[in-house]
Amino acid sequence: PLCAPGCGVPPAWAARLGATGFLISKCCLPLFKAKPGKAKRVRTIFSSEQLARLEQEFSRQQYLVGQERCLLASSLHLTEEQVKVWFQNRRIKWRKQSLEQQQAKLAQMG
């Protein structure tokens, strides 16, 4: 839960502010000590079905652009920005894993 204990109001996500992907809960508005005009970005929590589909698409191709990204986002009920950022983060994770595997192979070889 993103609300403070004792807030008393269940999180009811008020609105998406423009195309920025920033979400804010009406009940928690006073808790965010952000500068005026700034909203705290809430981390997207993907369902297991969404993650499975995103991983499937990533294994097929590591870069998703244009209409492919639009169609995937639509089918998963996500924004294109969420899909784009997920793919960016997944590529970083993939590169890190690849580097670790290469280092392990080199260590085995001596």
CA distance 44 to 42: 6
Question: 24 - beta bridge partners?
Answer: 15
pLDDT of residue 44: 92
How high is the mean pLDDT in each 10-residue block of the chain (110 residues)?
A: 45 42 48 68 92 97 94 97 96 96 89
Does residue 14 sit within a domain?
no
**Confidence at residue 33, expressed as pLDDT on a 0 to 100 scale:** 56
Q: Within a domain: residue 94? A: yes
Number of domains making up the chain: 1
How high is the pLDDT of residue 24? 46
**Is residue 40 one of the residues assigned to a domain?**
no
Taking the C-alpha atoms of residue 79 and residue 77, their distance in angstroms, rounded to an integer, is: 7
Q: Is residue 27 part of a domain?
A: no
Task: Tell whether 25 is covered by a domain.
Answer: no
Specify if 3 maps to a domain: no
Rg (CA), the chain: 19
- Which among 45, 22, 44 has a CA at the least distance from the CA of 35? 22
What pTM was computed for the model?
Answer: 0.62
- Give the pLDDT of residue 34: 58
Q: Looking at the domain assignment, is residue 84 inside a domain? A: yes
CATH code (residue 91): 1.10.10.60
In a domain, 55, yes or no: yes
Name which of 43, 41, 7, 44 is nearest 27 in CA terms. 7
Domain assignment of residue 82, given as a range? 48-108
